[in-house]
Amino acid sequence: MSRFLPRCWSGCSPLEPRTRDLDSALVPERSQATPNPADDNIPSMRTTLVLASASSALAACPCAYYTLNATTTPNHATFTEHLEIDFTQPNPSLTWTSTPGLAWQAQAYNVTPAAARGPYGKSAQVGNVALNSQSQGLDLWVRSQVLEGMVPIAEVVTARTDVLYGSIRAGMRTTGTNGTCGAFFFYHDDSQEIDMEVLSRQQVPGGNHTLNLVLQSPASSSAGFNAAGTPGFTPYTLTFDPAAAFHEYRFDWLPGRVDMYVDGAWLHSFHDGVPDSPGAVHLIHWSNGDPGWSGGPPEEDAVLTVSYVTAYFNASGGASACLDDDGGAGGAVCEVPVDGPAAQPTARPLTASATGTAGSTSSTTHSGAGRSARRSSGTFVYALLLLRFLEQW
């Protein structure tokens, strides 16, 4: 079964797409003269990626509900939202059956060494977020050259901040370069956070490989934002090198529990300090030189590649737009895939539109068992990288 296509088992019916024509070509555009990527920490810089595709199609929601696990199990859940993006197929030349999807914000901010609680600060830069030249996904770069005491890093965040419980997964290949932290996580605030993190310094060629499973909770907040001494921290030994190939990292967040998986295989469940407030989904690749966590900075530029992100979830604001007076999608109920396919790029196209915005404030986030603050007292901006795709059902 495709990782992208939920199984429909009730009320299914063929969809009739509505087509619309767009200009042809995918055009990268800067609102100002294009600087060197190393200069992308300039607050006034904006980046715009304009969508243009030959022909695309829009269709009604294919499912009204998404069900996770059997109804007889304690981890059964039903979701009304489905958001998905495949970063491996930026091909605008096809016709699509689709629903408008995810929007991501490529972050731009500076954090001083003192605020980052490390030997170095962090400088998130839009230029460190780029589509892979071999169409393998979205590259998140950590640069080896320290700029004014800060390590250039990369982070993208969903524009939606109303995610409240869900099954969320990402296909990732981490870096083999020592000295960075790659993280896939949900964030509400410093005491409500779900993390899956890979520290490249913990990956031993031909030896052990570690994935850190973390819940930032009121307990970790009271411990100085260090989850290591709380029930919300579990290092897990992997049976593979996370830098050698793409793998699917997934967490199922339900009321009172978080279940974590890799390639569909269950790793661990948390029951204490589980978040209960809405937030956003983040992908980050960073270093601040902290020998107790990220290590680094890396001796050479390091890249983490994301092939896709898929989320089945409920929204804090209420019912999905798919649920109209007639039940939406004919009342169809679809099954959330849980078989954990290998997260290799597949022939599944997307289109993308992106705009840059200066002057907005980035949310305070971190990753790590120990807190690494993101903000300093300076000016913060972010650039919106609106990766809006069209799904083929």
Cβ pair 288, 122 in contact under 8 A: yes
Name the pTM for this structure. 0.75
Query: CA triplet 20, 21, 22: central angle to 5 degrees?
Result: 125
Instruction: In whole angstroms, give the CA distance from residue 254 to residue 312.
Output: 12
Alpha carbon separation from 221 to 20, 193, 217, 224 (Å, rounded): 50, 11, 6, 5
pLDDT value of residue 256: 96
Over the stretch 271-314, which tens digit does the pLDDT of each residue have?
Answer: 999 999 999 999 999 999 999 999 999 999 999 999 999 999 99
The percentage of the chain sitting over the pLDDT mark of 70, rounded to a whole number, equals 64
Please give the domain boundaries of the chain with CATH numbers for all domains. Answer: 7-378+381-385 (2.60.120.200)
Cβ pair 48, 356 in contact under 8 A: yes
Instruction: In whole angstroms, give the CA distance from residue 332 to residue 360.
Output: 39
Strand order in the sheet with 77-79: 7-10, 333-335, 65-68, 77-79
Cis amide leading into 235 (omega within 30): no
Tracing tokens 């200009």 back to the chain, one arrives at: 23
**CB atoms closer than 10 angstroms to residue 383:** 27
Find, among 50, 54, 82, the residue nearest to 68 by Cα. Answer: 82
The percentage of the chain sitting over the pLDDT mark of 90, rounded to a whole number, equals 46
Token readout for 347 is: 């022939």
Q: Judging by beta carbons within 10 Å of its beta carbon (0-12, 13-18, 19+), is residue 234 exposed, middle or buried?
A: middle
DSSP code, position 100: B
DSSP code, position 374: -
Alpha carbon separation from 48 to 30, 85, 254, 285, 306 (Å, rounded): 6, 19, 36, 22, 21
pLDDT value of residue 368: 55
DSSP 45-104: --EEEE---SEEEE---S-SEEEES-TTSTT-EEE-EEEEEETT---TTS-----B---E
Find, among 126, 57, 54, 26, the residue nearest to 352 by Cα. Answer: 26
Instruction: In whole angstroms, give the CA distance from residue 254 to residue 251.
Output: 10
269: phi then psi, degrees, rounded to nearest 5: -125, 135
Token readout for 318 is: 């209420």
pLDDT at 158 exceeding the cut of 70: yes
Of 121-135, 146-160, 237-251, 254-268, where does mean pLDDT reach its minimum? Answer: 121-135
Token readout for 38 is: 């190393």
Question: Can you tell me whether residue 114 is helix, strand or coil?
Answer: helix
Question: Can you tell me whether residue 234 is helix, strand or coil?
Answer: strand
pLDDT grade, residue 155 (50/70/90)? very high
Cβ pair 68, 78 in contact under 8 A: yes
pLDDT value of residue 334: 87
Instruction: In whole angstroms, give the CA distance from residue 344 to residue 245.
Output: 8
pLDDT at 354 exceeding the cut of 60: no
Cβ pair 138, 102 in contact under 8 A: no
The dihedral through the CA atoms of 273, 274, 278, 283 has a sign that is positive
How far does CA 328 lie from the centroid of its chain? Answer: 28
